[in-house]
Amino acid sequence: MTTKNQALAAWVQDVATLTRPQSIVWCDGSDEEYDRMVSLMQEQGTLSPLNSETHPNCYLHLSDPQDVARVEHLTYICTSEEEDAGANNNWLAPEEAKAKMEGLYDGCMDGRTMYVVPYCMGPVKSPYSRCGVEITDSPYVVINMKLMTRMGTLALKRIEQEGSFVKGLHSTGELDPNRRFIMHFPEELSIMSYGSGYGGNALLGKKCHALRIASWQARKEGWLAEHMLILGLESPEGETHYIAAAFPSACGKTNLAMLIPPEKYKDWKIWTLGDDIAWLHMDDQGQLRAINPEAGYFGVVPGTNAKTNRNAYEMIQQNTIFTNVGTTADNQPWWEDKKQGEPASDWKGNPYSSESGPAAHPNSRFTVSATENTAYSSLAEAPEGVPISAIVFGGRRKELAPLVYEAKSWDHGVLIGAGVASETTAAATGQVGVVRRDPMAMKPFCGYNFADYWSHWLSFSERTDNLPKIFHVNWFRQNDDGDFLWPGFGENLRVLQWMIQRCKGDADAVETAIGYLPSEQGIDVADLNIDPDVWQSLISINDDQWRQEMSDFGDYLDSFGDRLPEKLREQHKAVSAALG
């Protein structure tokens, strides 16, 4: 397989000249190719089969112990002007970045196979989708891209028809942490990654393309590329609404995307259209419509069990690639809080010992096709996408933020999104448990200056009167003893129901300085046995805490200087004034 696209053919040849691979393989995305790659990796010792009776067609990959998470401090946005990257990104001049990377790439594929991976982010026939080509020396990347994207022949055909694509060059190099960089060149729609085999650093269609590069494309073209799940909810009356929601890592995003209604709401149906990324475009009627650019899940596995997320737990019992989990004596995958079995080996391949730390790495992963999810919706392949009724922001806050509140307007909602804060997790290297500001859950992923990003969000209210309502949720309020005040999981449907009712104009709310909160009877919690005082604390605010929050947030906004949009300053002043 080759290509009729001369620019693509020339780029592949240039990369081959630089990296000097032993051979070049153009990937077609077929099942037969997947099986060949799996067999090759088993021969190389980089992939091992798991128990075929309990987990058919499942495999385990163990990373280098120093290559287990995103490396935000080694991730750069390389724009001509440093201000275009913004203080929210690490910046390097494009010429300097290319010289550094080309030095690393020089001869790096000697003795290796170079794989050319054409892929489409989003349904192949959707006008909202965008294509890319990743060149890599990692068969692990190839099999993951097969599950995560629309990869191969059909994607290449679209590239040849359109002529445009994002260029992604990746090599695992020596897996040396001191020779590891992920460079993005949004002005050229290209990515260079070296020295890592870990998911987001190596699967360039995911965070690198679908968020960092796509967010730049989206601003230029008038749409949004967001770190959001897409969820469909069908009421017993047959009404369907779609919600897009942004949460930082480890804030219940996958659980919400695959929410299972509690017994009281068993007549509701939930459809999972995406668990991580949403591309939002405006249609001819001014309605925001969303597609999921991905075709699979690359999820954090610890904590997943039949109670916390039954759909996710069941879908990874077959046809799944596990990365950095432990194994049981009979070779089943094992991770902390699985609730079944006992570990015999840890994620480094050593005999398990509790003194050596967890059996599964806290950021261990599963990769699986979205079609394995019993809540999968065929509308994930709909070229026109789905209409979004509500956009939800949230974070993990022990106090301050109530269970749910609604923005007073789109512009106010942008302020709420810009103010998202949460605790850091194992998905990124560095300290765990530190609260940091993570606007729209996009801090690690926005490919340009946050001030310009917020201006782009604000521009939508000038283009249409038909925008979704914006909400904020916090499932993680705790008491002084560290106990969660809200049951969460499937019970979150009660909160989503209130949001839908608000979108339809069917539910009352109480206006406060920060937005509209549910009235005492607004959310049905009668059967949850929540103490009335606890319930009041969940649906009310502490003005003193919020005054401090808005003061701190104001300092954060000021750090963006003159580029900060005046509309956002006005929204911040209005909330601060309302708090007194």
pLDDT of 332 > 60? The answer is: yes
Q: How confident is the model at residue 461 (pLDDT cuts 50, 70, 90)?
A: very high
**Model confidence pLDDT, tens digit, residues 502-522:** 999 999 999 999 999 999 999
- By residue range, what is the domain housing residue 40? 6-46+73-222
The helix/strand/coil state of 375 is coil
The gap from C-alpha 577 to its chain's centroid, in whole angstroms, comes to 35
- What digits encode the pLDDT tens for the residues 194-225? 999 999 999 999 999 999 999 999 999 999 99
Same domain for 169 and 240, yes or no, is: no
Token output for 428: 């990124």
Domain finish residue from 222, 244, 260: 222
Is there a single domain that holds both residue 30 and residue 151?
yes
CATH label of the domain that carries residue 40 = 3.40.449.10
E strands present in 286-428: 288-291, 296-300, 320-323, 326-327, 333-334, 365-369, 386-387, 390-394, 404-406, 421-423
DSSP 467: P
Q: How far apart are CA 80 and CA 85, in angstroms?
A: 9
Does one domain contain both 87 and 36? yes
Q: Are 280 and 193 in a shared domain?
A: no
pLDDT at 423: 59
Quick check: 119 and 170 in contact, CB under 8 A? no
pLDDT digits (tens, 9 = 90+) for 361-400: 999 999 999 999 999 999 999 999 999 999 999 998 888 9
Smallest CA-to-CA distance from 568 within 417, 467, 438 is with 417
Residues 6+ apart with CB under 8 A from 441: 227, 228, 246, 247, 248, 251, 393, 395, 420, 422
CB atoms within 10 A of CB 464: 14
Tell me how many domains the chain contains: 2
pTM of the entire structure?
Answer: 0.97
Query: Which has the closest alpha carbon to 76: 62, 93, 55?
Result: 93
- Give the end of a domain, one of 222, 253, 268: 222
pLDDT tens for 350-363 read 999 999 999 999 99
Between CA 90 and CA 540 the distance in angstroms is 38
Same domain, residue pair 244 and 206: no
pLDDT at 429: 59
pLDDT at position 252, please? 85
Query: Which distant-in-sequence residues (6+ apart) come within 8 Å of 551 by Cβ?
Result: 576
- Domain membership of residue 87 (yes or no) is yes
Q: What is the pLDDT of residue 428?
A: 62
Say whether 78 is catalytic.
no
- Are 345 and 295 in contact by the 8 Å Cβ rule? The answer is no
Task: Identify the domain boundary among 189, 222, 255.
Answer: 222
Assess if residue 358 is contained within a domain.
Answer: no
pLDDT of residue 2: 85
Residue 314 lies in a domain: no
In a shared domain, residues 112 and 162: yes
Task: State the CATH number of the domain containing residue 285.
Answer: 3.90.228.20
Q: Per residue in 231-253, pLDDT tens? A: 999 999 999 999 999 998 778 89
Q: Dihedral of the CA atoms 251, 256, 260, 263 (nearest 10)? A: 70
Of 58, 251, 446, 503, catalytic:
251
Specify the 3-state DSSP secondary structure of 226.
strand
Both 78 and 40 in a single domain? yes
